[in-house]
Amino acid sequence: MTGRGTPPGPRGRRGRRLVERMDPDRRYRARAQRLGAGTAGRLWSRLAALDFLGNSFQLAALALMCFFPALIVVTAAAGRDAAAVVAKWLGLDHEAAQAVASLFAPGENEGTLTLASALLLFLGAMAVVNVLESWYQKVFDVPARTWRDRLAQLRWLASLAAYAVVQALIGRALGGAIGGPVLQGLWGFVMATLFWWWSMHMLLAGAVGWRTLFPAALATGVCWVGLGVFSAHYFSSAIVVNEQKYGPIGVVMIILSWLVAVGVVIHLGAVVGRLYVDRRSPRRRRRPPPDGGRAPTNGLPGRSPSEPDG
């Protein structure tokens, strides 16, 4: 007998907890739901919806096919070494920079372009800009633009070249100063934040305000500096090892991995900024109005839209 005719077994909340503890599938599903409802789950859902990894590979392929040939021509015309520029971007040491230099052996007609090659490089650069523009349009829910707005893309390409030149000059000036790496990191963070802030506003044609875009630019700047730190500690050794194992193609594989990481950084910064803005917006909408919640409607204070005027 259990008393008063009640059947034996777990009773009340304590019994339900015991049953849940004995059901691992239910426990795992509950944990997965809690994880998906959290910040990390929402971040991953947004990134997965954008196909961030596939898009990053697309950007890396376009950059490798179109951007690097243009880099070789431009640096040769300016009297600089393309290998040194790439090594600076990746933060490589001397041994890894020598492995990269083997990919950029000068030829007899270095620095010259045919009309077809110039057209191909230009179309490739515009394709890279189109990819970035479509990413930001999806993140911030901005409709696609028409062909008449291509002037903004050309301005962005010019700003990219100016950003690379200024970053190289300031980095060279700070390299010999006391605390040079720290100053370079701070300068790189400020420059990356400002550049990507400007880039989002430019590529979205002003459809999203500066204040709304700033969290995404700030997050992109942080991720950009983090990529630089990771690159300086990882890619140098990886390039040397891959060059010894696979030859020049191993170096290309590491450079391609770095380009994919650049695409991931751009996605991650934009999505983190958008999630922050979305999280702040409901709080602003939930704030009660100054009159205690009875906002005036149609110029009549304290009257709902369904009430008659008389």
**What's the rounded Cα separation, in Å, for the pair 79 and 56?**
31
Q: Which of 26-35, 203-212, 278-287 has the highest mean pLDDT?
A: 203-212
Mean pLDDT lowest among 32-36, 51-55, 212-216 = 32-36
Q: What is the mean pLDDT of the chain?
A: 76
Predicted local distance difference test score (pLDDT) of residue 33: 58
Report which of residues 164 and 208 the model is more confident about. 208
Predicted local distance difference test score (pLDDT) of residue 209: 92
Region 256-283: mean pLDDT is 89
Per-residue pLDDT at 262 exceeds 70: yes
Asked if 141 and 212 count as a contact pair (C-beta separation under 8 A), the reply is: no
CA distances, 163 to each of 38, 42, 159, 199, 210 (Å):
37, 33, 6, 11, 19
Asked if 55 and 135 count as a contact pair (C-beta separation under 8 A), the reply is: yes
Angle at 134 (CA atoms; ends 163, 73), nearest 5 degrees: 40
Per-residue pLDDT at 137 exceeds 60: yes
**What's the rounded Cα separation, in Å, for the pair 146 and 152?**
12
End-to-end CA distance of the chain: 71
**What's the rounded Cα separation, in Å, for the pair 21 and 29?**
13
Per DSSP, the chain holds a count of helices (H) and strands (E) of 12, 0
Per-residue pLDDT at 160 exceeds 50: yes
The pLDDT confidence band at residue 83, using thresholds 50, 70 and 90, is: confident
Asked if 73 and 111 count as a contact pair (C-beta separation under 8 A), the reply is: yes
Predicted local distance difference test score (pLDDT) of residue 188: 84
Predicted local distance difference test score (pLDDT) of residue 113: 59
pLDDT tens-digit map of 241-256: 998 888 889 988 999 9
What's the one-letter identity of residue 187? Answer: W
Longest CA–CA separation in the chain, Å: 101
